[in-house]
C-alpha cells in the first residue's frame, strides 16, 4: 500500500454508484465519474493497493506485451516510460501516480472485498455485503477484471505435495529458488516470462508444456534520451507514437478475424525465432506449434527459446498424470523429483468469479445465468435481468492484438454516459432489452465463426466449455469505441423513479 492515503475509512449506508475493483478499470471509472461531476460514488477493492493485475503479477520478468505508449490512459500520458515494453513495476508505478494525482483516492476503500450483491426489485437498489460491512447502491459497476482469479490445475495428488507450490500471480518473493529443483507448469504468456528469469538460479528446471505457443521476437528497447526529452516537452511526439502504435495494432485485426494467412510474416518470425535459438531437432519439434497462429495469444520473447536449451532444463511434453509428495509423474511413468511447483496455469476467464456473488432480479445468480445461456452481455457492459449492473472489461471485450486500456476507456465512457442519462431523465433502473441483447450476441457469435480463435485448431482460455468465444472482441477497437460512444437509451428497458 502506498503512503498518505485514507484506505479503510468507514463504509456509508448508501452510495449511488459502487465500483468493485481498483485496477486500470476501477481507477478509470472513478476518474471519469469525478470529471463528469458524479457526486456520490465509492470504489471497493479487496487488495491493499490500486493496480489490479499489475499489482498482483509480480513474478520475475513480468512485463507488458503491448507498448506502454498505448498501454496507458489517453488522458494521462506518461513521458517517463523507460522502454517500449514496460516492466510490471513501471506500470504499477504509473497507475499509482495517476491515482494519486487524480484526487479520487478518498473514494477508495481497500481491503474491502465484495461478498454478495443482491438486487432488491422493490427498493431498486443493490444490497451489498462486503468483508467490512454492508451498504446499498443504486448502481453496481464490476471492474474486477477478467484475469484476476488464478486458476490452479486439477492434478491428481497435488495436495499431497510436500514442497512449495504457488501460482505465477501469487509469487512467493520470500522463497529463494537458488539451487532448487523447480517445475513450471504451463507455457503461456506468464511462463515464458518467468522461465528465462529463474533459469540461472535453479539447480534443475522442468517445464511442463501441454501446447506449444507461437513466440515471436520481442522488439523491445530502452527509449533514448532524445526520445524521453521529446515525450516530456513535445506532447505531440508522444501522441504521434501512441497513434502510430494504435493503428499499427488495428491493422492486425483482419489476420485474426478474416484470414490467418495474413499473419504469415508473424508465423515466419516465430519459426525463425525457434531456428535461431535451438539446434536440437527434437527440441525444435517439441516447441513448434501445431495450430494456426493467432488461435492462442501470440507471445513475444527473445529469451524463451534460449532458456530451454540449457543443460539443466527439460521441456516435458508428456502429460502429467499425478503429483506425489516429492515429484511430478507423467503418463509414461517417469517420476521427476522437484522441490517447488510453479503454476503458470492462467486465470478463471470464462467463469468470472464475481458472477457467483451477484444476484439479479428474482435472486438469480449471475454465474448460474451465465452457465445456462453462456457468459454474455450487451456491449460487454449490461445484462438483462441484472438492472443497474455495468461491467468494465465484461464479456467479449478482451483483445488479442491491442491495449485493454483503450477498451476500458470505451466502456467507462459508456457507463458514465448511462449514469448521466439516468440522472437527467429521472430513471431509477436500466437493463438491456432482451431481444437487443440476443441480437448483439448472435452477431458476435456469427462473426466468431470465421475467426482464427474458432477455426485455428487450438483450445484456449478464450473459449467456454461449449466452445463459444465469450472473452474476445472480434472487430476493431475503433468500432468498439464507436459503438459505445453514447449510452443508447432506446435499447434499454427503464423504470422511472417513484415520485412522492
Ligand atoms: P495462460 O495463457 O492461460 O496459460 C496457461 C498455461 O498453463 C498454458 O500453457 C496451459 O496449457 C497450461 N496449463 C493449464 N492447465 C494445465 C494443466 N493441467 N497441465 C499442464 N498445463 C496446463 O495463462 P498466463 O500465461 O498466465 O496468461 C494469461 C493471460 O494473461 C494471457 O493470455 C494474457 O492475456 C495475460 N498476460 C499478459 C502478459 C503481458 O505481457 N501483457 C503477461 C502475462 C499474462 P494449454 O495451452 O495447453 O492450455
Pocket flag, ligand 1, residue 67 (CB < 6 Å): no
Q: How far apart are CA 464 and CA 355, in angstroms?
A: 15
DSSP SS3 for 473:
coil
Q: How far apart are CA 347 and CA 352, in angstroms?
A: 9
What local confidence, expressed as pLDDT, does residue 4 receive?
41
Cα dist from 344 to 1, 2, 29, 88, 139, whole Å: 25, 28, 30, 16, 35
Q: In the 8-state DSSP scheme, what is residue 87?
A: B
In the predicted structure, residue 271 carries a pLDDT above the cut 60: yes
Q: How far apart are CA 377 and CA 396, in angstroms?
A: 8
Q: What is the DSSP string of 214-258?
A: PEE-----BPPHHHHHHHHH-HHHHHHHHHHHHHHHHTTHHHHHT
Pocket flag, ligand 1, residue 289 (CB < 6 Å): no
Ligand 1 geometric centre to CA of 188 (Å) = 4
Q: How far apart are CA 453 and CA 131, in angstroms?
A: 39
Query: For the residues 299-315, what does the mean pLDDT come to?
Result: 98
* Average per-residue pLDDT for the chain: 95
Q: How many CB atoms are closer than 10 A to CB 397?
A: 24
Q: Between β-strands 125-130 and 133-142, what pairing exists: parallel, antiparallel or unpaired?
A: antiparallel
| pLDDT tens profile 273-282 | 999 999 999 9
Pocket flag, ligand 1, residue 184 (CB < 6 Å): no
Pocket flag, ligand 1, residue 186 (CB < 6 Å): yes
Query: For the residues 188-202, what does the mean pLDDT come to?
Result: 98
What local confidence, expressed as pLDDT, does residue 496 receive?
80
Query: For the residues 12-29, what does the mean pLDDT come to?
Result: 98
pLDDT-derived band at 147, boundaries 50, 70, 90: confident
Q: Between β-strands 108-109 and 133-142, what pairing exists: parallel, antiparallel or unpaired?
A: unpaired
Conformational region of residue 416, where left means phi above 0, alpha means psi within -120 to 50, and beta covers everything else: alpha
Pocket flag, ligand 1, residue 92 (CB < 6 Å): no
Q: How far apart are CA 462 and CA 298, in angstroms?
A: 13
Pocket flag, ligand 1, residue 291 (CB < 6 Å): no
10 Å CB burial of residue 129 (0-12, 13-18, 19+) is middle
Q: In the 8-state DSSP scheme, what is residue 8?
A: S
| Helix H or strand E encompassing 273 | helix 264-277
Atom number in ligand 1 closest to CA 297: 32
Pocket flag, ligand 1, residue 477 (CB < 6 Å): no
For ligand 1, atom 46, the nearest C-alpha belongs to 211
Q: Residues 395, 470: contact at Cβ < 8 Å?
A: yes
Atom number in ligand 1 closest to CA 398: 34
Q: How far apart are CA 484 and CA 76, in angstroms?
A: 21
Q: How far apart are CA 312 and CA 289, in angstroms?
A: 23
Pocket residue to mutate for ligand 1, from 287, 345, 402, most atoms within 8 A of Cβ = 345
| pLDDT tens profile 52-98 | 999 999 999 999 999 999 999 999 999 999 999 999 999 999 999 99
DSSP SS3 for 431:
strand
Instruction: Supply 433's cell numbers.
Output: 432489452
For ligand 1, atom 28, the nearest C-alpha belongs to 346
Q: How far apart are CA 100 and CA 209, in angstroms?
A: 41
CB under 8 Å, gap of 24 or more: what pairs does 271-279 form? 273/215, 273/216, 273/217, 273/302, 273/305, 274/215, 274/305, 276/305, 277/305, 277/306, 277/308, 277/309, 278/305, 278/308, 278/309, 279/309
Going by C-alpha positions, the residue among 137, 121, 143, 190 that lies closest to residue 24 is 143
For cell 533459469, name the residue: 199
| pLDDT tens profile 365-384 | 999 999 999 999 999 999 99
| Helix H or strand E encompassing 314 | strand 313-316
Residues 6+ apart with CB under 8 A from 292: 260, 452, 455, 456, 457, 458
| pLDDT tens profile 418-433 | 999 999 999 999 999 9
Q: How far apart are CA 16 and CA 419, in angstroms?
A: 10
Instruction: Supply 436's cell numbers.
Output: 437487443
Ligand 1 geometric centre to CA of 189 (Å) = 6
| pLDDT tens profile 223-269 | 999 999 999 999 999 999 999 999 999 999 999 999 999 999 999 99
Q: How far apart are CA 275 and CA 192, in angstroms?
A: 17
Atom number in ligand 1 closest to CA 191: 25
Amino acid at each position: 500500500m502506498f503512503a498518505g492515503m485514507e484506505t479503510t475509512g468507514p463504509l456509508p449506508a448508501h452510495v449511488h454508484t459502487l465500483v468493485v475493483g481498483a485496477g486500470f478499470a476501477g481507477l478509470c471509472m472513478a476518474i471519469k465519474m469525478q470529471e463528469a461531476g458524479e457526486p456520490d460514488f465509492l470504489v471497493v477493492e479487496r487488495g491493499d493497493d490500486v493496480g489490479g493485475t499489475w499489482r498482483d503479477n509480480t513474478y520475475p520478468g513480468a512485463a507488458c506485451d503491448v507498448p506502454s505508449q498505448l498501454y496507458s490512459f489517453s488522458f494521462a500520458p506518461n513521458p517517463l516510460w523507460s522502454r517500449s515494453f514496460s516492466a510490471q513495476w513501471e506500470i504499477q508505478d504509473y497507475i499509482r501516480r495517476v491515482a494519486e494525482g487524480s484526487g479520487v483516492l478518498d473514494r477508495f476503500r481497500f481491503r474491502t472485498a465484495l461478498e454478495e450483491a443482491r438486487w432488491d426489485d422493490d427498493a431498486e437498489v443493490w444490497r451489498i455485503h462486503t468483508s467490512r460491512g454492508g451498504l446499498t447502491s443504486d448502481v453496481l459497476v464490476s471492474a474486477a477484471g477478467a484475469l484476476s482469479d488464478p486458476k490452479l490445475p486439477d492434478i491428481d495428488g497435488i495436495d499431497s505435495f510436500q514442497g512449495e507450490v504457488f501460482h505465477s500471480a501469487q509469487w512467493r518473493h520470500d522463497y529463494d529458488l537458488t539451487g532448487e529443483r523447480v517445475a513450471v507448469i504451463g507455457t503461456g504468456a506468464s511462463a515464458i516470462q518467468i522461465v528465462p528469469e529463474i533459469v540461472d538460479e535453479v539447480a534443475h528446471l522442468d517445464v511442463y508444456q501441454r501446447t506449444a505457443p507461437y513466440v515471436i521476437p520481442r522488439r523491445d528497447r530502452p527509449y533514448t534520451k532524445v526520445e524521453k526529452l521529446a515525450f516530456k516537452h513535445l506532447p505531440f511526439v508522444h501522441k504521434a507514437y501512441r497513434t502510430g502504435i494504435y493503428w499499427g495494432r488495428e491493422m492486425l485485426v483482419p489476420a485474426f478475424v478474416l484470414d490467418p494467412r495474413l499473419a504469415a510474416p508473424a508465423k515466419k518470425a516465430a519459426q525463425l525465432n525457434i531456428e535461431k535459438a535451438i539446434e536440437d531437432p527434437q527440441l525444435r519439434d517439441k516447441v513448434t506449434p501445431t495450430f494456426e497462429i493467432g488461435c492462442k495469444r501470440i507471445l513475444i520473447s527473445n529469451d524463451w527459446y534460449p532458456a530451454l536449451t540449457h543443460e539443466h532444463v527439460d521441456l516435458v511434453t508428456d502429460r502429467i498424470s499425478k503429483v506425489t509428495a516429492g515429484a511430478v509423474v507423467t503418463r509414461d511413468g517417469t517420476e521427476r523429483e522437484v522441490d517447488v511447483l510453479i503454476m503458470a496455469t492462467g486465470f478463471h476467464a470464462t467463469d468470472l468469479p464475481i458472477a457467483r456473488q451477484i444476484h439479479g432480479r428474482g435472486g438469480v445468480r449471475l454465474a448460474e445465468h451465465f452457465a445456462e445461456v453462456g457468459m454474455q452481455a450487451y456491449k460487454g457492459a449490461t445484462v438483462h435481468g441484472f438492472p443497474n449492473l455495468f461491467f468494465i472489461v465484461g464479456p467479449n471485450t478482451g483483445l488479442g492484438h491491442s491495449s485493454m486500456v483503450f477498451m476500458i476507456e470505451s466502456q467507462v465512457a459508456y457507463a458514465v454516459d448511462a449514469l448521466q442519462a439516468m440522472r437527467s431523465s429521472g430513471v431509477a433502473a436500466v437493463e438491456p432489452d432482451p431481444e437487443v441483447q440476443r441480437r448483439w450476441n448472435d452477431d458476435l457469435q456469427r462473426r466468431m465463426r470465421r475467426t482464427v480463435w474458432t477455426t485455428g485448431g487450438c483450445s484456449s482460455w478464450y473459449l467456454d466449455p461449449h466452445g463459444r468465444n465469450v472473452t474476445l472482441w472480434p472487430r476493431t477497437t475503433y468500432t468498439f469505441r464507436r459503438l459505445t460512444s453514447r449510452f443508447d437509451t432506446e435499447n434499454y428497458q427503464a423504470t422511472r423513479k417513484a415520485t412522492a
